[in-house]
Copies of this chain bind each other. A is one copy, B any other.
């Protein structure tokens, strides 16, 4: 992955700053002949869109995506289809308020990329976080919608929020259908209602907290992945780690693997009705960097939003000690809106791996 481009054969290049005129992406390498219109992408964007509940930022962005190139409809196609040429996506920034930016211009907000961007580039678009804002992830979600089309309907990518702050879900109550029933993408209705109260308290405190997202991909064939340095799990880890505020990624049993014994960790095999089966999935659907055909199971940890209303000590650009309070409109738990982003990143990795698999191994 280079700079702002993700992927090898299915490639996504994103551009744009939080408070600039627009954000966009170019999706290159998409196979031709796939039905595609903006309406296919909008539902995914609507899941990530700000302003949908009191638990996320109230910024009002309709996030209407336009497709500017790479699709075409003629007398031989049933609606617009991809043409194999670059697909340009664009979303205009609507609610980038004209406001007083002097505080974030002059001070390095703790936990944000302000200091590091200044150290690297010497200049930064500070308005709303500029390029380092999570607003960029809207384009990943849009591009992820195209990736899903490349993967086809037999592959299902779902994600859920399984922890907010110190409170985790009860996995025994996991119900995918619940994910759409609460503002947290929570698969456990009871925990979701407890989170309501937790979040209300957090907002009153002017504070924030983190969370853990779990992504599960079903229907993957065995054999996708490209050892040694393009292993499926390595690319998944890289992808999730590029999401704003993510501090950890694990596959299958993940960090808990360290405490297991070999008898448990090495998933045994047997014959099932449809062929080879595994008796457990501690490896999360990947062995040697290649998919096993089981569910691909990924978890990633999101740190608390750094923008809080509690005053924090920091420095300004003149290296003077000062304090900062972040007002603005922010997510008290940015992990919530990271759920559809995690799904999208999984889709991008898999579409790219699929194309590479076709190239090397699927003749």
A4/B31 in contact, CB under 8 A: no
- Which of A69, A228, A233, A288 gathers the greatest number of chain B CB atoms within 10 Å? A228
**Contact indicator B33/A121 (Cβ below 8 Å):** yes
Q: Restricting to A289-338, which residues have a CB under 8 Å from any CB of B?
A: 289-293, 301-308, 310, 312-315, 319-321, 335
Chain B neighbourhood of A113, CB < 8 A: 227, 287-290
Q: Mark A267-286, 1 if CB is under 8 A from B, else 0.
A: 11111000110010011101
Of the listed residues A291, A320, A362, the one surrounded by the most CB atoms of chain B closer than 10 A to its CB is A362
Q: Which residues of chain B are near A226, meaning CB under 8 Å? A: 2-3
Provide the bound-state CA to CA distance between A157 and B308, in Å: 34
Q: Mark A208-225, 1 if CB is under 8 A from B, else 0.
A: 111110000000001111
Question: Are A260 and B116 CB-contacts (below 8 A) given A359-B9, A361-B31?
Answer: no
Query: Smallest Cβ distance from A191 to chain B, in angstroms?
Result: 14
Contacts of A257 in B (CB 8 A): 210, 247-248, 301-304
Q: Given A13-B86, A81-B123, A115-B276, do A255 and B248 touch, yes or no (CB 8 Å)?
A: yes
Interface centre among A131, A256, A359 (most CB of B within 10 A): A359
A144 adjacent to chain B (CB < 8 Å): no
Q: Is the CB of B5 within 8 A of A319?
A: no
Which of A40-48, A54-62, A177-185, A234-242 touches B?
A: A234-242
- Does A116 contact B5, Cβ atoms closer than 8 Å? no
Query: What B residues does A241 contact at CB under 8 A?
Result: 231, 233-234, 236-238, 249, 251
Instruction: Please tell me if A230 contacts chain B, counting CB pairs below 8 Å.
Output: yes
Closest to A228 in B: B4
Instruction: Write the nearest CB–CB distance from A177 to chain B, whole angstroms.
Output: 24
- A28 contact from B5, B130, B212, Cβ within 8 A: B5
Over the window 11-37 of chain A, the binary record of Cβ atoms lying under 8 Å from chain B Cβ atoms (1 yes, 0 no) is: 101111100111110101111110000
Report if A119 contacts B (CB, 8 A). yes
With A3-B229, A13-B13, A72-B123 as given contacts, are A110 and B266 in contact (CB-CB < 8 Å)? yes
A252 CA to B247 CA, complexed, in Å: 7
Report Cα–Cα, A268/B14, bound state, in Å. Answer: 31
Does A204 lie at the interface of the complex (its beta carbon under 8 Å from any beta carbon of B)? Answer: no
Known contacts A5-B13, A358-B358, A260 near B125 by CB under 8 Å: no
Specify which chain B residues have a CB less than 8 angstroms from the CB of A301 in the assembled complex.
Answer: 250, 254-258
Question: Is A85 an interface position by the 8 A CB rule?
Answer: yes
Residues of B within 8 A of A96 (CB): none
Asked if B130 and A85 make an inter-chain contact with CB atoms under 8 angstroms apart, the answer reads yes
The docked-state distance in angstroms from the alpha carbon of A33 to that of B118 is 11
Q: Which residues of A in the span 105-145 have a Cβ within 8 Å of any Cβ on B?
A: 105, 108-113, 115-117, 119-126, 130-132, 136
Add 20 more A-B contacts to A85-B130, A247-B255 (CB < 8 A): A3-B229, A5-B28, A9-B9, A9-B360, A15-B28, A15-B69, A17-B69, A29-B359, A85-B131, A111-B265, A111-B266, A119-B223, A164-B258, A207-B261, A207-B262, A237-B237, A247-B283, A248-B249, A266-B308, A269-B315
